[in-house]
Chain A
């Protein structure tokens, strides 16, 4: 009986992981702007991988493999924000529309200067 309870918990956690990864994929496709897609991708990178690793740890029990799974979990938790940071820098340096948009927000005259008009 206890095994089946453990199996139910594992199934619930795997289902949560699948749902969060599905949400990440749907968000990455449905959100038009890439910085919004990064927010959606972060859900799968943190909550999804947590649910999956806890599910696998519950199914295999304590041991060396459990420690390796925890190492992978911690490594992914550390490198996911760094990857997102670098991707946002790529978007910042390659998106021309973002540059114009930020200047329009700041109220600067760079648009007029870039188009060659005088103030």
Chain B
């Protein structure tokens, strides 16, 4: 067995193994529970496809496949970045998940206080001298 045959067997084994890994990561990308798992799986698939193309460029002795791998790396990188920026807000320091919920709760609390103050004002106008209405915290208004 010559050295070139040994290299051929070695690189073919590497290609088969990378193909198996790519199939496994494809399953992971399908079943991944969150969006981040899927983008991560796609990123890893891209890296392993680049490895496959590099091995093929040496195995087939075609130098232009290395250029293909370089372009593939750039496109995979841009795809991951664009997929990520879909989910990232424009200004990350100002908005965070849950801030809108907190703001809605504060607005609701302010609305309840205004309504109770209005009820109290109406009761005073009508001359009601009964029990004092309480605040939400239990204090007298």
In the complex where A11-B10, A99-B96 touch, is A28 in contact with B44 (Cβ < 8 A)?
Answer: yes
Give min CB distance, A43 to chain B, whole Å: 11
* B58 lies within 8 A of chain A by Cβ: yes
* B115 lies within 8 A of chain A by Cβ: no
| Alpha-carbon distance between A97 and B19 when the two chains are bound, in angstroms | 35
The size class of the interface chain B forms with chain A is 35 or more
| Alpha-carbon distance between A30 and B128 when the two chains are bound, in angstroms | 68
Chain B 1-15 residues near chain A, CB threshold 8 A: 3, 6-7, 10-11, 14
Q: Does B98 contact A90, Cβ atoms closer than 8 Å? A: no
Residue of B nearest to A66 (CB): B66
| Alpha-carbon distance between A7 and B6 when the two chains are bound, in angstroms | 8
Q: Does B97 contact A72, Cβ atoms closer than 8 Å? A: no
* B126 lies within 8 A of chain A by Cβ: no
Give min CB distance, A105 to chain B, whole Å: 15
In the complex where A41-B40, A110-B102 touch, is A95 in contact with B55 (Cβ < 8 A)?
Answer: no
- Using a CB–CB cutoff of 8 Å, the interface residues on chain A facing chain B are 3-4, 7, 10-11, 14, 17-18, 21-22, 24-25, 28-29, 34, 37-38, 41, 44-45, 48-49, 52-53, 56, 59-60, 64-65, 68-69, 71-72, 75-76, 79-80, 82-83, 86-87, 89-91, 93-96, 99, 110, 113-114, 116, 118
